[in-house]
């Protein structure tokens, strides 16, 4: 089934066309956006007017044409603050229906908040929870508090950036008192809900909408380096936002439009946007902002589908991450049995080397998920599939992962076959020193795990690591001056010679990372019939 979602907001109109899957997930097919800023008109005059209405009708007509070209089975259009408040909002809804055939459903602020939160909690890892979610539109600010279990509090405030810009009309560049007037207005509106927000004890602030994304992009640009392929789960600090705020209030809209990371179409709105963000952070004592790329349009889609994947309804907030990875694997026609076997052996190796690498549970999860995706590049071509895997991971729309974590998974995919991660590979180069060291360790583990299933027959039951049972012929001993001698203990059944031979070919990075001389010790087990549940297939898919 194909669904077209039209988010008819106060700043911009958005279209998202998706193909819905039987498991409740969806694949985007087309996206469009048009900045109309109807909220500005409504704030100044109380109405949308003939010119604004004509532009709105034309955009909806174009969006419908795109949806039909994508063979959408259903079109769902929701209108928000500008259509709610305009004296001619009902007339515009009727005109759109008559001239385009699209039925617009105008929703109140609380329903808008519910749909936004549905999307955000399906896109961002809320851990620790609960989270305060802020969606800053042109006409209103939607505030929500909740976690994976659901929405606990929601409010809609008249603090949209278009409204504030039109009503307070800061000069260009803003005058000395504009910042204080904006934050004073925000503080006054927030006062009505602040007690409930604070009492909910949110542990993180999540932001959606184009204005907050633009502010975060500008903060990210000050760090240097290329931007990540996705901003979902990107976190910027309060200090970085404060620095951006100073630049915004010291510049004209034309100057802001040329700043790195700025969406030029929102340059005029940024003083109001950053004033809302700073006051919200100060009032709630939250000192960082995490972005969600999903917002109302994705919420419309999820609501239309009518259900989530079972994993997304689990009590474990991190289940979304595995669900998202598995959805990418299924789209890529993966070798499920082999992937589960490599994921299982990767985590066993991680546990066996814990006293050597001192990495935590987040790293363990990454190497397991890296095992699941490592061969998905074969969907493009078996030749160079490691590079294709990295590309698919970077562009797979993984949810619940920070940009750095997406880069790490891309590195795992790119180097699981051969080589040492290098700065010439952009996702690796963009990581800091600690993350580079971590992911290089994980690559070493994943490569050996992959070798241990060289036949794709799941012949290895378990793998462990022990001190060498006897000194090897080269006489090297475990000492500060030499290399520790370790044995990879492989418990397997049947003919595992190809697995052992492949490990010998691919153990160099493992030995380098763990500063060891690695030997192999085989423990033969009685052959048992293949059971997909024992290979991990039932529990993870």
Helix H or strand E encompassing 235: strand 235-237
Asked, for residue 118, whether it belongs to a domain, the answer is no
Do 277 and 307 belong to one domain? no
Do 146 and 278 belong to one domain? yes
Do 414 and 433 belong to one domain? yes
Q: What is residue 476's predicted lDDT score, i.e. its pLDDT?
A: 46
Q: What is residue 308's predicted lDDT score, i.e. its pLDDT?
A: 41
DSSP per-residue string spanning 185-216: HHHHHHHHHHHHHHHT---EEEEESHHHHHHH
Looking at the DSSP bridge assignments, the partners of residue 206 are 133, 290
Do 367 and 501 belong to one domain? yes
Domain containing residue 256: CATH number: 3.30.420.150
Closest among 138, 90, 79, 139 to 112, alpha carbons compared: 79
Contact between 28 and 16 (Cβ < 8 Å): yes
Q: What is residue 315's predicted lDDT score, i.e. its pLDDT?
A: 55
Closest among 536, 510, 534, 351 to 446, alpha carbons compared: 510
Other beta carbons within 10 Å of 45: 14
Asked, for residue 367, whether it belongs to a domain, the answer is yes
Rounded Cα gap, residues 282 and 487, in angstroms: 55
Looking at the DSSP bridge assignments, the partners of residue 5 are 16, 76
Q: What is residue 539's predicted lDDT score, i.e. its pLDDT?
A: 29
Cα 408 versus chain centre, distance: 14
Q: What is residue 479's predicted lDDT score, i.e. its pLDDT?
A: 43
Looking at the DSSP bridge assignments, the partners of residue 370 are none
Asked, for residue 305, whether it belongs to a domain, the answer is yes
Asked, for residue 146, whether it belongs to a domain, the answer is yes
Rounded Cα gap, residues 472 and 482, in angstroms: 13
Do 322 and 467 belong to one domain? yes
Rounded Cα gap, residues 206 and 125, in angstroms: 10
Rounded Cα gap, residues 446 and 449, in angstroms: 5
Q: Alpha helix locations (H) across 101-209?
A: 109-121, 161-168, 178-199
Q: What is residue 533's predicted lDDT score, i.e. its pLDDT?
A: 46
505 CB-side CA count, 13 A: 13
DSSP 397: -
**Which of 293, 328, 357 corresponds to the end of one domain?**
293
Do 451 and 322 belong to one domain? yes
Do 524 and 383 belong to one domain? yes
Do 163 and 201 belong to one domain? yes
Asked, for residue 113, whether it belongs to a domain, the answer is no
Angle between helices 161-168 and 270-284 (to 10 degrees): 110
Structural domain harbouring 478 = 318-540
Do 49 and 89 belong to one domain? yes
Do 286 and 405 belong to one domain? no
- CA dist 228 to 153, 225, 401, Å? 32, 9, 12
**Which of 281, 311, 341 corresponds to the end of one domain?**
311
Q: What is residue 95's predicted lDDT score, i.e. its pLDDT?
A: 97
Mean pLDDT by 10 residues, the chain (541 residues): 93 93 81 93 92 97 97 94 94 96 93 94 92 94 92 93 86 86 94 94 95 95 86 96 96 95 93 96 97 94 70 62 90 92 97 96 96 96 94 92 95 96 95 97 98 95 89 50 85 92 96 94 69 38 25
- CA dist 472 to 146, 485, 487, 507, Å? 58, 8, 11, 17
Looking at the DSSP bridge assignments, the partners of residue 151 are 146
Reduced DSSP (H G I as helix, E B as strand, rest coil) percent helix, strand, coil of the chain, to 5: 50, 15, 35
The tally of domains found in the chain comes to: 3
Asked, for residue 373, whether it belongs to a domain, the answer is yes
Do 258 and 358 belong to one domain? no
Q: What is residue 350's predicted lDDT score, i.e. its pLDDT?
A: 97
Rounded Cα gap, residues 90 and 83, in angstroms: 7
Q: What is residue 193's predicted lDDT score, i.e. its pLDDT?
A: 96
Q: Is the pTM of this model over 0.85?
A: no
Do 165 and 261 belong to one domain? yes
Asked, for residue 265, whether it belongs to a domain, the answer is yes
Domain containing residue 45: CATH number: 3.30.420.40
Asked, for residue 115, whether it belongs to a domain, the answer is no
Domain containing residue 381: CATH number: 1.10.3210.10
**Which of 279, 311, 343 corresponds to the end of one domain?**
311
């Amino acid at each position: 089934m194909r669904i077209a979602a039209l988010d008819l907001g106060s700043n911009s109109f958005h279209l998202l066309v998706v193909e819905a899957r039987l498991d409740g997930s969806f694949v985007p097919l087309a996206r469009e956006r048009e900045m109309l800023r109807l909220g500005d008109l409504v704030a100044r005059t109380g109405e949308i007017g003939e010119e604004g209405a004509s532009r709105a009708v034309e955009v909806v007509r174009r969006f419908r044409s795109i949806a039909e070209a994508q063979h959408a089975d259903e079109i769902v259009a929701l209108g928000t603050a500008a259509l709610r408040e305009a004296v001619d909002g009902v007339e515009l809804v009727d005109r759109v229906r008559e001239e385009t055939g699209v039925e617009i459903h105008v929703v109140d602020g609380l329903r808008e908040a519910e749909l936004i939160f549905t999307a955000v909690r399906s896109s961002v890892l809320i851990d620790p929870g609960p989270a305060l979610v802020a969606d800053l539109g042109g006409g209103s600010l939607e505030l929500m508090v909740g976690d994976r279990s659901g929405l606990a509090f929601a409010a809609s405030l008249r603090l949209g950036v278009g409204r504030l810009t039109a009503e307070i009309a800061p000069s260009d560049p803003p005058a000395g008192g504009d910042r204080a007037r904006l934050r004073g207005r925000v503080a006054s509106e927030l006062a009505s809900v602040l007690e409930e927000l604070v009492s909910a004890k949110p542990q993180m602030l999540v932001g959606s909408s184009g204005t907050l994304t633009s502010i975060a992009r500008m903060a990210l640009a000050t760090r240097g380096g290329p931007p990540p392929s996705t901003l979902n789960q990107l976190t910027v600090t309060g200090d970085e936002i404060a620095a951006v705020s100073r630049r915004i209030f010291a510049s004209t809209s034309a100057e802001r439009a040329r700043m790195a990371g700025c969406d030029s179409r929102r340059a005029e709105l940024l003083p109001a946007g950053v004033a809302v963000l700073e006051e919200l952070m100060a009032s709630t004592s939250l000192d960082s902002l995490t972005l969600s790329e999903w917002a109302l349009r994705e919420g419309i889609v999820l609501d239309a589908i009518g259900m989530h994947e079972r994993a997304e309804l689990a009590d474990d907030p991190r289940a979304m991450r595995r669900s998202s990875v598995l959805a990418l694997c299924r789209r890529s026609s993966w070798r499920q049995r082999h992937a589960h076997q490599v994921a299982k052996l990767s985590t066993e190796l991680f546990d066996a080397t814990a006293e050597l690498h001192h990495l935590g549970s987040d790293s363990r999860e990454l190497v397991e998920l890296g095992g699941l995706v490592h061969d998905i590049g074969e969907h493009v071509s078996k030749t160079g599939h490691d590079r294709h895997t990295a590309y698919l991971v970077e562009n797979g729309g993984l949810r619940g992962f920070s940009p750095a974590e997406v880069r790490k998974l891309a590195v795992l995919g790119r180097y699981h076959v051969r080589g040492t991660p290098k700065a010439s590979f952009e996702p690796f180069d963009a990581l800091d020193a600690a993350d580079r060291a971590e992911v290089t360790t994980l690559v070493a583990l994943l490569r050996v795990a992959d070798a241990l299933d060289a036949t794709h027959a799941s012949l290895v039951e378990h793998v462990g690591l022990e001190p060498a049972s006897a000194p090897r012929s080269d006489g090297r001993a475990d000492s500060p001056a030499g290399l520790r001698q370790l044995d990879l203990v492989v418990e397997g059944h049947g003919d595992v010679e190809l697995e052992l031979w492949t490990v010998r070919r691919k153990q160099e990075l493992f030995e380098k990372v763990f500063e060891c001389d690695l030997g192999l010790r085989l423990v033969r087990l009685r052959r048992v019939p293949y059971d997909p549940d024992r290979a991990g297939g039932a529990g993870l898919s």
